[in-house]
Chain A
Amino acid sequence: MEMEKILQQATGKVDSAELFRIKSKTIPVNFEVNRLKSIDIAESEGQALRIINQGRIGFASLSGSSLESEEDTETMVEQALATSEFGATAAFDFPEKNEVGPTTNSNLPEKVKIFDPKIVEKSIEEMVKIGEEILVKIKDFDRRLRSDVTIVKDISEIEYSNSRGGSFSYAKTAIAYSLMIQQVEDQDILMIESSQAAAQDKLEVEELVSEAIENFKWGEKVASLESGKMPVIFTPKAVLTLILPLIIGLNGKMVWEKVSPLAEQQNKKLWSEQLSLYSEGLIDFALGSAPFDDEGVEMRRYPLVEEGEIKNFYYDLQTAGLAGVESTGNGLREGISSPPGPGITNLVMKVGTIPFPEMVKDIKEGIIIDQVLGLGQGNIISGAFSNNVQLGFKVENGKIVGRVKDVMIAGNALEELKNIVALGDRSEWVGGRFKFPHLYLKSLSVSTKV
C-alpha cells in the first residue's frame, strides 16, 4: 500500500505520524572446512509506524506477506493507537519538509556515497569464485589448515515519510569477506579470524589472507607467561574491548537517566590527551553511513571525545527532547520492530604517531591482544572489563615470541584509557563501522593459569 495512504489512515486520528520502510536482500555464500557449503538468499520487507497521539508515542510494525493488504495495515494503525494510550510522552515532533530531504535519488549531488551498483550486479557465481580464491591461498600456505570463509552481500532500500511533509529515501549496499583458519593439535586449538566489510566493491583478498597468515605464524608456537601487570598492545580489532564502555556511557539515554558514570563529566580531562573519538555518519562507503538517520535527522561528523575530554553525547530525537538538546543524527533502529534509539553510526579514533613495530620494540615483557572472548559481558557500564584472550601474543625484548594460552585480562576501561602510551600511526576499519589504530597501554592486569 502507498505510504501516503497509510499515513493518511493514521493522521486522521492522531497528531502526527511517521512511516519507515525497509526492503532488503542479503546473500551469504559460505565455505566450511575448505569447501563450498551453502548459499542462502534472504529477502525481507517490513514497515514500522510511529505516531504521536495526544502527546504520547505509539508504535507498531509489520513484516511479511501482505504489504498490499488493507487489513494488515489497518491493524498496524490500530495497534499503534492502542499502544499510544500508555506510550511515553513525546518530547519531540517529526522533522518538517524543509528539515528532511531531498532524497538521494534526486539529481542533486550526493551527500554521502553508500551505494555501489557493482555490488548489486555481483553474481552468486562471482562470489563463489572469491571464496575459492581465498581457500586456494590458504591451502598454498599450509594444506593442513581448516578454513571457513563467508562472502556476503547486502542491498537495502529505505523509505521514510511523515505527516509533517518530511520524507527521504535511499538505497545502500554492503559487502563483506570473512575468514577463519584453525589448527587443532592434541587439545590445543589455534583459531584466527580476519574480516573486511564496506559499502563499496573494493575489498582485497590479498590483505585479508596475509593478515590471517601473519597472525598464524606468530601464533604457531605457544609462549609461557606469568600473571602480573604488564604493557599491552591492543590491535585495532581488539580496541573495542576498551571503547565499548565509552560507547555505552556516551549514549544520550544512559546520560539522561544518570546511569552513565560519564554523565556530568563533559569538558573534564578524563583520559589520555591522545584519545579523540569522532562520530562520523558521512564517510563514503562506510557501513554506518547514510544521509539521514532512521528518523529523518541529517547525519554528521562531530567529536564525542577530544584530547581526553568528553565533548558530546549522542542522541536520537526523543532522548534529545527529554535532555533539552538537539538530536545528533544518531536515531537508529535495531530492527523493524524497534523504535529509533541512540546508536553509533561510524566511530573513528584519531591516529597517533607510532608505527606498530615500534610499539613492539618498546616492550621488554608484555602481550599483544588481537581477539578476546566475552566482549560486552559483565558490568560494562561501570567500565569494568574482564576477557579471555582468544588470540594474543607474547612480546619479549621487543620481539613477538609466540601465542599465549589460558590468559585473561581485566581492568576498568575508564581508568586504563588514562594510561595510553601511544596510538598507532595508521588506523584500520573493523567491521566496516569502527576505525581504530593500535592502542598501547602502559600496564594492564593479566592473569594466567599456572
Chain B
Amino acid sequence: MEGKTKRKKITIINILQIATLAALLLYMQIAVKTGAVSKVFLAAPTDIVREGIEIIADGTLIPHFLISVEEILVGYGLATAVGIGLGILWTIFPKTEEYANVFCAAVMAIPKVAILPLLILWFGIGFLSKVVLIFLFAVFTILYNTVTGAKQCKESYLKVAKVFEATNIETVFTVILPSALPSVFNGLRLAAATAFTGVVFSEMQSAKAGIGFLLSEAQSLLNSSRVFFLIILITVMSVVFVKAISLVEYAICHKWRRV
C-alpha cells in the first residue's frame, strides 16, 4: 500500500472485478437511456460525467467544495490538536484523566447527529456549527486512540527511561508518544472518515453552502445525475484525505517501522 513498489500480476480475479464493474455501469447506461428505469432513480454514467463537468465549468461547485474543505480542515485540525493535546495531558497527569474521563465518555456516547439541532441554535446554520460538529465527531476517536497507544507502551522502554533518569515529561515526549504513534495515526484515520460524515450530514440538514447542501438541493430537484456525481466526489475526497494521513504517517515512521 504505502509506497511499496510491489509489481502486481493481473489475475483472473482482477479481470472479473473489472468486468463486473463495467457490466454495472453498462446496465446503468442502458437502463436509463432506454427508459427501463426512471432518471429519478438512477443516472447514466455519461450523464453523471456531463453533470460533473457542467457544475465545475459553470462555477457552481467550487465555492461549495471550498467551504466544505474549509469546515473539515478547521474542525478536524481542532480535533487533532485537542485530541492529541488532551491525550498527552492525561498521560503526564493521570489525575486529569481520572477527573475528565467520565465527562468525555458521556459526551462521546451522545449520538452526535442528535445534538445538531442544539448546535444550530447555539452557533447558527453557518460555518461554526459545522466546525463544532466535525470536531465532536472526530475528537474522541483521536483522544482515546492517543491514550490507548500511550498505555500500551512497552514496559521495557519505560524501564530504560527510568534508568536514564528521564523526568515524567521527558518520558512522555521521548518514549511514550513515539511508541504511541501507530495508535495515534489509526485514530486520525478513523476520525478523518467520520469527519466527512459529519460535514455532509450537517450541511444536508441545514446550511446555505457546502457539498452536503448541494447534495440535498440536487435531491429536491430530482437531479439524480448530480446526486450521483456529488456522492462520488465526497467518496473520493474522503479517500484522498485518509490517504494523505497515511502519507504523513509514512513520512514520519517509514524509516524505523516497516509500514
Partners in one complex: no
Mark B residues whose CB is within 8 Å of A.
none
Task: Please give the residue numbers on chain A whose beta carbons come within 8 Å of chain B beta carbons, in ascending order.
Answer: none
